[in-house]
Structure 1
Amino acid sequence: MTASCGPRKARPCSPASSFSSRCFVGILLNAPMFLIPIFSVLDACDEPPRFQGMKPQDELKPSYSPGDTVRYECRPGYQSLSPGSLISTVCWENNTWSPLQESCKKKSCPNLGDPENGNINYVNGSTEFGSQVHYVCNAGYYLAGPAIRYCQANDNSVYWSDSSPICEKIFCQPPGKILNGKYTNSHKEVFEYNEVVTYSCDPSNGPDEYSLVGNSTLVCVGNDKWNSEPPECKVVKCEYPVLQDGEIISGFGTKFYYKAKVIFKCKEGFTLIGSNTVFCNANSAWEPPIPKCVKGSKPTSPTVSPGSSHPGHPRPTDESAPEDNKHLGVGPIIGIFVAVSVVLGGIVGACVYKCLSKNKSAYLTDESHREVNRISPREEEMKERFAFIKKKENRD
Structure 2
Amino acid sequence: MSSLTWIAIVGLICIHLVPCEGNIWDILRPKFCSPSIPRRPLNGGFSCSYVNHACVSVRYYCHSGYKLQGENFNACFSRTWLFSSPPRCVEEGCDAPTLRNGDYSPRRSNHRASSVITIRCDDGYKPRSRHSICRRRYGSNYYWSPSPYCTRDAKCDPPNLRNGNYSPLRSKYNRNTAITVTCRPGYKTRSRDSLSYCRGNSYAAYWEPLPFCFSTVCNDPVAPTNGRAIPETRISWRVNSTVKYDCNNEFKLVGQNSSYCQESGSFAGSLPSCVRLATCPTPIPPTNGRMEPRSKTTWRETDRVSFYCDVGFTPVGADAATCGADGQWDNVAPTCAEEAVVEVTTGSGDA
Q: Normalised by the size of structure 2, how large is the TM-score?
A: 0.33
Structure with greater proportional strand content: 2
* Structure having the larger proportion of residues in helix: 1
